[in-house]
Amino acid sequence: MTEAYVALEDGRVLEGRGRAPGTARGELVFTTAYTGYEESLTDPSYEEQVLTFSYPLIGNYGVREERFEDDRVHPRAALAKEFTEDVAEWLESEGVPAVDHLDTREVVTTIRDGGAMKCGIAVGEDVTEEDAKEQLEACKAMSDHTEIGEQVSVDEVEVYGEDNDGETVALVDCGAKGSIVDSLLARDAEVHVLPHDASVADVEAVDPDVLFISNGPGDPVNFEQTIHLVEEFVEDTPVAGICLGQQIVAEALGGTTEKMDFGHRGVNQPVLDLASGQVVMTTQNHGYTVAEPGEHLEVTQINVNDDTPEGIDGIEYDVITRQYHPEANPGPEDTLDFFDDVLAMADSRSEQAVPADD
């Protein structure tokens, strides 16, 4: 059996079975999702993290590229009770260390009790506990990854749906899932994917009907240029956001954000809409949240479990954001109408801008 060690910030070292070799370090987090492992492993929001699957068997329906959210695996390492050969071989091909035969119940309760924590991973024929501890010593806190946007964003503008007849969307890529683009294209939008550090002139060149801030990894305060874009355009252009995008919008409009103890990661997070009283089930993956929305925004949806903001709308501005992932990959699909609301907001603004006939 290949040696495998996981060194935790609380001083313990866990021993498991190595399934993909290598060394790694990152913030140790968990997901409660029992399906969607391909989507989770390719979600850019897991950049610089070590992902633990709470479901005991990962890989029981294979690996299919059409379910990927990006073109590479983003967690620095992956942990499970058991990985199938398909997943282990995939992770090895991506150079991502994998460890199984762990008591993932213990790992999850450790994170729930102590919060997301630093960890170090060492997997290989000749590795030792000390190799994992060395990785732990070199691990940075998530908020210290100040340039994390560069690791997950496009380098230049990419355009999709140029033949579509709907609204033009400037999607600022802070680590966007591919299914966000797909959801907009399915509604006939033309989508311009911009780098996270795009300039005001870059956005003006698109002349968008809506400025859309994507999901992504890390601390929202580190996305200074994206925050600046919201500040510059919110008075004249509708603004939407998902996950990290909600936090960035809040930071731009006078709100504050904070790190959560262990975050929300899974496909069964209940969200209450305050106006209708309806509860929907949502997919989530975030470790930061809006603490205070500020005077320009109001909370419209909350998490049933902990009352954290899940939906925020503008008071005097055309703004709509969601903390969860309404694109619903791998599911559930309770909230896909968010994209209809975003494009309707943009369409309404466009109609208002058209001068009346004499």
Catalytic pick from 243, 286, 296, 310?
Answer: 243
263 assigned binding-site residue: no
**3-class DSSP assignment, residue 15:** strand
149 assigned binding-site residue: no
Q: Which two tokens stand for residue 286?
A: 């975030």
255 assigned binding-site residue: no
160 assigned binding-site residue: no
Residue 310 is a catalytic residue: no
Task: Return d(Cα 142, Cα 158) in angstroms, integer.
Answer: 28
216 assigned binding-site residue: yes
Residue 78: partners with Cβ closer than 8 Å, 6 or more residues away = 41, 50, 51, 52, 53, 58, 91, 96, 97, 98, 99
C-beta of residue 124 within 8 angstroms of C-beta of residue 3 = yes
Task: Name the strands in the sheet holding 190-195, side by side, starting at the edge strand that comes first in the sequence.
Answer: 158-160, 190-195, 168-173, 210-213, 239-242, 319-322, 309-314, 297-303, 256-273, 279-292
Residue 327 is a catalytic residue: yes
Residue 70: partners with Cβ closer than 8 Å, 6 or more residues away = 42, 43, 44, 152, 177, 178
- Dihedral-angle region of residue 307 (phi above 0 means left; psi in -120 to 50 means alpha; beta otherwise): left
37 assigned binding-site residue: no
153 assigned binding-site residue: no
Residue 119 is a catalytic residue: no
218 assigned binding-site residue: yes
Alpha-carbon dihedral angle through residues 268, 272, 273, 274, given to the nearest 10 degrees: -170
C-beta of residue 59 within 8 angstroms of C-beta of residue 37 = yes
- Dihedral-angle region of residue 235 (phi above 0 means left; psi in -120 to 50 means alpha; beta otherwise): alpha
Binding residues for L-glutamine: 45, 216, 218, 244, 247, 285, 287-288
- Which sequence positions are flagged as catalytic? 243, 325, 327
